[in-house]
Amino acid sequence: MWEQKGCLAATIAAMPADVVELVKDFRFEAAHFLPHVPAGHKCRRMHGHSFRGEVAVRGTIDPAVGWLIDFADLKRAVDPVVDRLDHYLLNEIEGLENPTSELLAIWIWNQLAPKVPQLHRITIEETCSSRCHYFGGGESGVGSGR
């Protein structure tokens, strides 16, 4: 048994530093309204969504354990953030006074980034055909200033 583990670890250690991406899905129900859209716009009225999201991490496999991150550790980081959103009026949450999909993705990123150093992407789906991907501010400045 130990011989097999040693062999597997040696195999992984000998592998090129391939980058992998792991994704943890989450869901929550919430109401919101968009206060800055023009008068008469349907999203200015309070309404709700069955939000679906993804937290993606990216990096190289740790040869000692054979994974990038334990899915359970990722879930422990994501669950408290989802609990702050589920069945709430998003506009009443500090930092989400204008809870567009874009700003919600950035808000979630900011909650998770200190706890999940391999964080690569946040995806928020308001509907089955409308979603936002956020990849962090990065050096390009894209996404900053929101």
Q: Which residues are known catalytic residues? A: 43, 87, 126
Q: Which two tokens stand for residue 142?
A: 């894209």
Cα–Cα distance, 78 to 72 (Å, whole number): 10
User: Beta partners for 21?
Assistant: 58
Residue 118's φ and ψ, nearest 5 degrees, are -90, 10
